[in-house]
Amino acid sequence: MQYAVLYLILGLAVLWLGSELTTRGAITIAKKLRISHMFIGLTVLAIGSDLPELFINVTAALQKLQGIDTSGLITGETVGTVISQTTIILGIIGLFGTVIISKREFLRDGLIMVGAAAVYLLMGLDGQISAMDGMIMVIIYAFYFMTVTREEKITQKIRNNKGFGKMIWATVSLIAGFIFLIYGAKVTVDNAVALASIWGLSQTFIGLLIVGFGTSLPELTICANAVMKKAGSLSIGNLIGSNIFDILFTLGLSSAIAKGFTVNDVLIEFDIPIMIGVSVLAVFLLRTKMKLEKREAVTLMLVYIAYVLAKLGMMTL
């Protein structure tokens, strides 16, 4: 048990190093290509920081094909990740930094995040996310990604870029950061799950709270770094983009590979509605002044604490 705690601390340290390299690379790329921090957060950072979730989900999907039922872990992990990122992580970033969103980004990306959460509920009402459901979710994400890329005119900006030297180093920093993030997240989550198993916690509970929060650590460290570097829109873009990617692409792809996952009744009746509710709440709070006030950040953190206490209470019933 003592080794699990030590490796947990090591994993957190590697996560922070990865976030530092990733954030520096992302900011440099945004400056050189003259593209918004929000776009980098929504796409490059969101996908890169979600590689741990993608790795876990695809591995679990392959295990399911071998006869090991991993449905509770995967469906719970996705919900837990979105809830933790939308409440406690966004709250921490808003409390210690400035989180601002433009009206265009609010209308497009914030509402898509809520829509993605609603799609999860609709797809899971029959008690499963089927392979067909998964493919539909991936197609929706592909359409969203192409829309965002087209609106930012990325292809044209890449062609017009002349500073390839700095771009190469920024890209190397970004990739190295992602590697550290993946390794750090794996070490952290593996040892958190080991500790949870020692304490006798259920698979769904581990997925919702331990793995769900643990795989959000790359987003937390990237966002914290972005805020310290006065790049707040990078952080909000990362969180919104990550939530959209988690639900539509990561869960969708793994469901297609596994030929479907069973969705727990408690998830449908309690956790997924909570996920939709906190997504709506976060968007509403951002909408008031197109930024997150300190008291609103505290509200989001309290919502997460209440959710965790509710889950702990349900375990004792």
pLDDT given at position 255:
94
Number of domains within the chain:
1
* Residue 108 domain flag: yes
pLDDT given at position 300:
94
More confident residue, 19 or 72: 72
How much is the average pLDDT of 234-260?
90
Least confident of 73-77, 131-135, 305-309: 73-77
* Residue 186 domain flag: no
Confidence of residue 103 (pLDDT cuts 50, 70, 90): confident
pLDDT given at position 207:
61
Confidence of residue 2 (pLDDT cuts 50, 70, 90): low
Across the chain, mean pLDDT equals 81
How much is the average pLDDT of 1-5?
69
202 — phi, psi (to 5°)? -75, 165
**Is 302's pLDDT higher than 90?**
yes
More confident residue, 122 or 291: 122
How much is the average pLDDT of 69-97?
85
How much is the average pLDDT of 148-152?
79
Confidence of residue 278 (pLDDT cuts 50, 70, 90): very high
Tell me the sheet residues that pair with 262: 128
* Residue 100 domain flag: yes
* Residue 280 domain flag: yes
How much is the average pLDDT of 284-302?
85
pTM comes to 0.81
More confident residue, 187 or 201: 187
Confidence of residue 24 (pLDDT cuts 50, 70, 90): confident
* Angle value at C-alpha 125, between 50 and 141, nearest 5 degrees: 35
Q: Measured between alpha carbons, how far is 111 from 146 in angstroms, rounded to an integer? A: 17
Domain ranges, residue 59? 38-152+202-316
**Is 26's pLDDT higher than 60?**
yes
* Residue 31 domain flag: no
* Residue 97 domain flag: yes
Here the CATH number for the domain that contains residue 63 is 1.20.1420.30
Q: Would you give the distance in Å from CA 212 to the centre of its chain?
A: 9
* Residue 16 domain flag: no
The residue among 38, 28, 33 whose CA lies nearest residue 159 is: 33
Query: Do residues 234 and 226 make contact, with C-beta atoms less than 8 angstroms apart?
Result: yes
pLDDT given at position 22:
77
pLDDT given at position 208:
64
* Residue 181 domain flag: no
More confident residue, 50 or 257: 257
